Amino acid sequence: MSLRDLISDVIHTLWANKLRTFLTMFGIAWGIVSIVLMVAAGEGLRVGQEKMQETFARDLMIVFAGRTSMQAGGTRAGRRIFFETQDATYVKQESPSCQYVMPELGTDTAVRSRYNNAQPTVTGSYPEFAEVRSIGVAQGRFYNWDDENQVRRVAFLGSAIAKQLFPQGDAIGSTIYIKNMPYVVIGVMKEKDQDSSYDGWDVNKIFIPFSVMQQDLPNKPPATPQSVDRLLVTPKSVAEHEDCKREVRVALGRLHHFDPKDKEAASIWDTLEEAQAFAKMTDGMKYFLGAVGVTTLFLGGLGVMNVMLVAVRERTREIGVRKALGAPAASILRQFFLETLIVVFLSGGTGLAIAYGLCGLVDLLPMPPFFAGLLPTWQSGTLAIALLGSIAFLAALYPARQAALIDPIEALRFEAGG
């Protein structure tokens, strides 16, 4: 039998058993769809959360002053720690693995424009704050070192507070009054989504140079006028992240006389550590969902094998006649093997097309900020195809071998007896 005749015979046989073929193919297609969609959903969640994290900050450590929980250098436990402006300079000098160490000071206060009043958070730090905290510029500019060094009363508005104070959109160059002191608006922030913060959403804040912040809005007692709320630290590279964190703890411990291992004295919110922990969680979820899809696919493969074994039994007389007429066992083996491969790969290809089509359709819809959509990866497609090939081979081999081993005399006798 030629290959063309073989394929024609296989298609005729499958068409003669349409319902059985459809149900068999559905199991395989559903398994492929499950793998691709589940892995794509996990990838979409991971990418979405990664983007949300980047809008807050990327590889940033926020260091908060606390109370000592250990005795060190003759000082008692429970002592209150206050970071001061000069701490940032000292820590930077003592931490060669860190790129930026900057102070931050913030407070909620009354602000008014010629249109409206508000009570936003006003925060001050160094000009690199915009880079470290992913503050994008929509209009104007962020404050620079000239503004900082000359103690200029300039303000950069978050996108939401800009709309509240200047509903007409004419913020740039206008004057706002922070605690009755005039500030010139020099810029407005780009809108951004944010899912975490330590003192409120950036879109609702007003950003001013640190020197002005400490002059006009210093901390109140028991803190000193030179105290700051926290230190913002970034490493020179991801590889130096842990070294930077260790150097900061050692420098602050030396400066404020506490044990560097005392995490209560200087607690650190590590955004990289948090991102890595979330990535592990989403990867675990993705692998679990993928495993569910793989299980479904294997069950579909078992269904194919079972159906093909039934087909072998139903066509016992046909096989016996063909072998009695001289058809070699290899020809019988090829026929059933090819029949199974067509069923599996046709259903698998259909499943892949449906899965990728669904991903494309879903991605056209508006997505929540934390979810980037259904993102199928080449790894999930490769895995699906590899599993599909393995299952096709295993599901085809045993039924085809059983068909090839049928004795023609026994086959004809079996049919006559039935």
* Other Cβ atoms closer than 10 A to 176: 24
Question: How many angstroms separate the Cα of 416 from the Cα of each of 328, 333, 409, 413?
Answer: 22, 24, 11, 5
Segments making up each domain of the chain, as ranges: 3-54+276-417, 67-264
- For the ranges 236-250, 270-284, 367-381, the one whose mean pLDDT is highest: 236-250
- DSSP H/E element including 277: helix 271-314
Confidence label for 239 from pLDDT (cuts 50, 70 and 90)? confident
Q: Is the CA virtual torsion 256, 261, 263, 264 positive or negative?
A: negative
Q: Is the CA virtual torsion 104, 109, 112, 116 positive or negative?
A: positive
pLDDT for res 417: 43
Percent of the chain with pLDDT over 70: 76
Closest CA to 101 of 231, 216, 220: 231
State yes or no: cis peptide before 222, omega within 30 of 0. yes
The more confidently predicted of residues 88 and 54 is 88
Closest CA to 40 of 386, 383, 286, 370: 286
CA–CA dist 29, 26 (Å, integer): 5
Mean pLDDT of 358-383: 79
Mean of pLDDT over the chain: 81
DSSP secondary structure letter of residue 168: T
Coarse DSSP helix, strand, coil percentages of the chain, rounded to the nearest 5 percent:
55, 15, 30
Q: Is 28 helix (H, G, I), strand (E, B) or coil?
A: helix
Percent of the chain with pLDDT over 90: 33
Per-residue pLDDT for 329 more than 50?
yes
pLDDT for res 396: 64
Which tokens hold the place of 265?
């004295």
pLDDT in tens, 62-111: 999 888 887 765 567 778 888 999 999 999 999 999 999 999 999 999 99
pLDDT for res 143: 96
64 φ, ψ (degrees, to nearest 5): -110, 140
Amino acid identity of residue 377, one-letter, is: T
